[in-house]
Homo-oligomer: A and B are copies of this chain.
Amino acid sequence: VLGIDPGLVATGYGLLGSASAGVAVLATGVITTTATLTLDARVQQVYDGVLAVLDRFEPASMVLEDLYAEYRFPRTALLMAHVRGVICLAARQRGVTLVAIAPGEVKRAVAGHGAASKAQVQQSVRRLLSLAALPAPSHVADALALAFTGYSRAGGRLAAAGVRP
């Protein structure tokens, strides 16, 4: 399961897979764009970067955060949506099943309650995935949280509190 947290400046991804001990982090990374380039060049950078990840790891499914009604920064949200659009396209072109999960469900699955803070999510992701350090940057932490939630939903054998496979 590949989790992706799209952003025009930086798009985080985190790939989880089954391991003998439960779930394992197979890859994480950030796709960045060149701030001096035009929007069309930047969405192409994200698109090419995501295609490269899909071609390298061949995940069966991709998890994105569902759209919600109100974003605090409308312009940032609109630019994020441009990036999310080309990521959806890349998934479609590679036959990767797309799953959109509401932010509240991610927080519940990872941290046990829907109002968990960003820091709590990061801590929970670290614990659930037995990471040596807090996942960083936040785009990667969010991508791992999404992947974890998708993995749990898909029936991953996970013993985390609050996770309903």
Contacts and interface: CB of A to CB of B under 8 A. Distances in A.
Contact of A86 (B71, B77, B85, B91): B85
Interface residues on chain A, size class: 20 to 34
A74 B75 contact: no
Where chain A touches its partner, the secondary structure class is: helix
Contacts of A85: 43, 81-86
A40 B88 contact: yes
Interface in A30-52: 38-41, 43-44, 47
A78 B86 contact: no
Interface string A92-123: 11000010100000000000000000000000
A108 B39 CA distance: 25
Interface of A: 38-41, 43-44, 47, 67, 69-71, 74-75, 77-79, 81-86, 88-89, 91-93, 98, 100
